[in-house]
Amino acid sequence: MRQPREGVSKLLQAMVDAFGLPDLRRKILFTLGILVIFRFVAHVPLPGIDLVQLRSLFERNQIMGMLDLFSGGAMRNFSVAAMGVYPYITSSIVMQLLIPVIPSLAALSKEGEAGRNRLNVITHWVTVPLAALQAYGQLVLLSNERVVTGVGIGLTGARLLPTVSMVFSMVAGTMFLVWLGELITERGIGNGISILIFGGIVSGLPTMVGQGFLARENIPSLIAFLVLGMVLVVVIVMFTEAHRRIPVQYARTVFQRGRVMRQGGSTHIPLRVNSAGMIPLIFAMSIMIFPGTVAGYFQNSSGFVGQAAQLVARWFNGANWFYWTLYFVLVLGFAFFYTMVIFQQQNLAETLQKQGGFVPGIRPGKLTEEYLNRVINRITWGGAMFLAVVAISPWLVQQTTGTAGQILQLSSTGLLIVIGVVLDTMKQLEAQLLVRHYEGFIR
């Protein structure tokens, strides 16, 4: 594995150098401007919300904190952007799972840029009904908790217009955030959706740390928690940057003035230990949130339905060991699934063969493909175990240090998202600086 210290220092230097170039400076300022707009929208509340009851619900239910993670802090205020980009992420997950299954979608994925644009349009259309269903579900859940009044399952009389207007406002807020994220991707720096989630997590960090110190509940446990948090940051950076280099040799035949000349070169393929990034955590979290959210709609029902809903809500509560065990297993499985899907789409063995490259000691073609699959399977075990341990680390820390859940709002998933977004954005800056300083572009 490559140590990340030198790479991180170069990325920081790239961040400083970027402000010296007018076009990159414009992109950075544009991204910051979009983040300001996002934070403004996150503080525009829907009418009829009891903020005292809402804060009490957040203290009792850790699932609400996870939903707040995807909304970028807007869920805590229950603003028009309370759902954040979560419906879009869910839609993207559904499309990722359906592409290998549905032949027409698989054909679109192989049509290059035009096919990807078409799939993106379909993803946006799928987002709208998902957002509407989630908005209505959240309103029903909050109505049962007496956070919001005048809405619910009975869409009759005075309830109809407030419910429809609230659902419409929340769907519009989600699509507006998705549009802002795409603007960042197109005209700014980094992946727009990730940047928005990053902005929401970072904005809540000072409040979370302040509450932890003001609580004064157990200073030794709090210090232990902060130390473990810093260790976790270092480990996340190491695994995010770690990769295994596969050596590759190239042989070319060049005809020059009637003579045949043999030329060659060597390079390497960097296979990342954590090729899936934070995607498995998002996949697993989406599945873990869904049963508890649905069960919340029916907890107050009578008979078998109400009892079953209460049982599901209890098992999928963030304080239950079953929740974290299943979360661990799902992250582990999704890490292998997503890594294999992405790796197969790259088709490295065929690409190497077409370019005249080969791995020393391995025949091109099928044997190279088997060798690369074997290597990626082995190193993915390390990346998958890392992600799974990171996923359940808040629960482990809470069980070890006894720290209260209020200062665990910035979960390991949040840390992984923040670190991943920062490293990815800095790498994009470094790549753009390299392009602009390349001799071929200066001439």
Mean pLDDT score of the chain, rounded to an integer? 75
Assigned domain for 419 exists? no
Encode pLDDT of 109-145 as tens digits.
Answer: 777 778 888 888 899 999 999 888 888 877 877 777 7
List the Cα angle 109/113/117 in 5-degree steps: 75
* For residues 328-345, average pLDDT: 84
CA 341 to chain centre: 17
Q: Judge if 49 and 150 occupy the same domain.
A: yes
Encode pLDDT of 179-218 as tens digits.
Answer: 998 999 888 887 888 888 888 777 766 666 565 555 545 5
Q: Which pLDDT does position 179 carry in this prediction?
A: 92
User: Residue 358: beta bridge partners?
Assistant: 249
Encode pLDDT of 272-300 as tens digits.
Answer: 888 877 778 777 877 777 777 677 667 66
More confident residue, 378 or 297: 378
Domain containing residue 19: 1-214
Say if residue 153's pLDDT is above 70. Answer: no
Assigned domain for 110 exists? yes
**What CATH number does the domain containing 95 carry?**
1.10.3370.10
Q: Judge if 142 and 277 occupy the same domain.
A: no
Encode pLDDT of 13-46 as tens digits.
Answer: 666 777 777 788 888 889 889 988 988 888 887 8
Question: Can you give the pTM of this predicted structure?
Answer: 0.74
Q: Judge if 208 and 250 occupy the same domain.
A: no
Assigned domain for 103 exists? yes
Instruction: Report whether 248 contacts 357 (CB < 8 A).
Output: yes
Q: Inter-axis angle of helices 219-241 and 192-215, to 10 degrees?
A: 160
Q: Judge if 50 and 132 occupy the same domain.
A: yes
More confident residue, 2 or 197: 197
200: burial class by Cβ within 10 Å (0-12, 13-18, 19+)?
A: buried
Say if residue 245's pLDDT is above 80. Answer: yes
